[in-house]
Structure formats: C-alpha cells, structure tokens
C-alpha cells in the first residue's frame, strides 16, 4: 500500500517532494531506483520533519507510537492520514492524545491485495478505487477538506462515514471473509488440497495475507467481527438444516437468493 501510494503520488502530484520511510533497506533501494520517491530513509523523524502530508501505511497496531514521534517534529497542522481498515479503535487512541502539531484524518482506500511488500507495489492501485473517509466530532474540518482534496486526485469515489459504521461494514465485507478464508484452509484436509483448482484458490486467496497485518486488525475490530461471525453461523446453520433435511425447494431458494445478491454487486 505504501509503495503503491508513493508511486501514485509521483504521478498525481508531479511538483511534490515524496519521502519514503521503511525499516526495510531493500524496499527503500527499490523505491529510489524506480523513482517512486525522491528520498528514502529508515528514520521516521527525518522523513516527516518537513512534510505537509503524511500517510501511515503500516499495521494498525503501530499507529499510536508513530504518531507520538511524528508530532514531535512535524509542521504545525501537518495532515496525517492512514490507509488502515479499522477506524473506531484508531480514532479513540488518536482522540485521547494531546497533539501539538499534527492533525489526523482517518482514511481507508478499499484497494489492495493479499500480497505485501514493495515488490507488489502498483502505481495505479488507487486509481478509481473507493476511498472511505471517517471523520468524527474531533476531526478538524480544514484537515478533512484537505484529505478529501488529496484523495480526489486518485478517485472520484469518495464516501464519508462515521468510524463506527465503517468498522461494522468493513467487518462484514472484508474482515469476515478473511476470517472464513483462513478457517476454510484449516478445515480442508491436506490430501484434498492437492486437487484444489480455480474456485478454491479464488475463495481462499486472501488467506495468503501476512499475519502481521491481519492479527492487529482482528483484535482492533473484535466486537464487529464477532457479531459478523455470529450472523454467519446462523446462516450456515440454516444451510446445514436444508441439507440435512434434503429440502430441495428450500435449498434452491437459498442458492438462488445468494446468486441474485451476488449479481447485484
């Protein structure tokens, strides 16, 4: 996400100076070689010191320590955004802090894949993607306007929703599917996996994602994910009941309704 955004910013903001920050020297070298960044550093404070806009593209559990460091040296009212998929817990932490300089706006571009690292970066990843902005009562209106202007350079699909609504929706359409893909990989026997073809591979693709990204997401959005799992269990019990009873009409209705919903997306 970070490498893709840096490359995209070079295209969308040709007059801007882009600094890339990473602990991975190979990632920094690649980003510099591909000219996705003007500056590549492993020192957070050096990278953000003169920045007008800062985007956190790290696991959600690392945001608060990073923000504390950023606030020490960043410009007054520097806009700080993120691309994380959990907002309620993040904004609770942000709002509990006493910030001298930074102004935070929660953002979630609904783009990406299961792949991680600079090698998976794509300069057009954000083009036309759905961008969710999650302001709350403490969000600075000026910073929110600035964040919206930033993301408008990449996409016209920008939606503003509350952090709580965001976490509920994303818990259902992103976090629950990931949890199910992981569980499906555990449920299938090793001999069966030898015959896994397109359908199974597509269904479980996201289970290949890095645990360092997803473990913090699951814990930070635990309440909404558990609720989504409960609703899924109820639906699964209904499917199991139709199958156990051999109720062909109910099974057909169940399948047809799912097909109609999927076709409507």
Q: Which of 162, 177, 203 is the last residue of a domain?
A: 162
State the pTM of this model.
0.91
pLDDT, tens only, 26-37? 999 999 999 999
pLDDT averages per 10-residue partition of the chain, 265 residues: 93 95 94 94 95 95 95 96 96 95 97 77 91 97 98 95 97 97 96 95 94 95 98 97 92 96 94
Residues 247 and 140 in one domain: no
DSSP 215-230: HHHHHHTHHHHHHHHH
Question: What pLDDT, in 10s, does the model give residues 171-197?
Answer: 999 999 999 999 999 999 999 999 999
For residue 24, give the H/E element and its range. none
Q: Are residues 158 and 169 in the same domain?
A: no
User: Of the residues 162, 179, 195, which one is the last residue of a structural domain?
Assistant: 162
What is the H or E stretch that residue 39 is in? strand 39-41
pLDDT at 206: 94
Q: What pLDDT score does 119 carry?
A: 79
Give pLDDT, residue 62.
Answer: 93
Rg (CA), the chain: 21
**Structural domain containing residue 114:** 2-162
The last residue of a domain, from among 111, 145, 162: 162
Residue 82's φ and ψ, nearest 5 degrees, are -140, 175
- Give the pLDDT score at 123: 86
Judgement on whether residues 143 and 31 belong to the same structural domain of the protein: yes
């Amino acid at each position: 996400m970070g490498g893709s955004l840096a490359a995209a910013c070079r295209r969308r903001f040709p007059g801007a100076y882009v600094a890339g920050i990473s602990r991975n020297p190979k990632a920094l070298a690649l980003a510099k070689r591909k000219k996705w960044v003007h500056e590549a550093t492993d020192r957070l404070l050096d990278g953000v010191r003169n920045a007008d806009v800062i985007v956190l593209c790290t696991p959600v559990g690392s945001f608060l320590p990073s923000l504390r460091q950023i606030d020490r040296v960043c410009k007054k009212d520097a806009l700080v955004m993120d691309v994380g998929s959990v907002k309620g817990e993040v904004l609770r932490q942000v709002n509990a802090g006493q910030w001298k300089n930074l102004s935070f706006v929660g953002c979630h571009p609904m783009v990406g894949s299961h792949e991680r690292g600079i090698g998976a970066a794509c300069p057009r990843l954000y083009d036309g993607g759905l961008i969710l902005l999650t302001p709350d009562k403490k969000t600075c209106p000026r910073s929110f306007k600035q964040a919206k202007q930033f993301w408008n350079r990449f996409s016209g699909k920008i939606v503003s929703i509350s952090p709580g609504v965001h976490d509920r929706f994303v818990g259902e359409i992103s976090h629950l599917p990931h949890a199910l893909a992981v569980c499906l990989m555990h449920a299938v026997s090793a001999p069966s996996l030898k015959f896994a073809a397109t359908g199974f591979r597509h269904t479980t693709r996201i289970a290949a994602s890095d645990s360092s990204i997803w473990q913090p997401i699951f814990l930070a959005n635990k309440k909404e994910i558990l609720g989504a799992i409960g609703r899924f269990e109820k639906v699964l019990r209904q499917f199991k009941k139709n199958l156990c009873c051999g109720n062909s009409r109910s099974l057909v209705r169940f399948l047809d309704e799912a097909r109609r919903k999927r076709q409507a997306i």
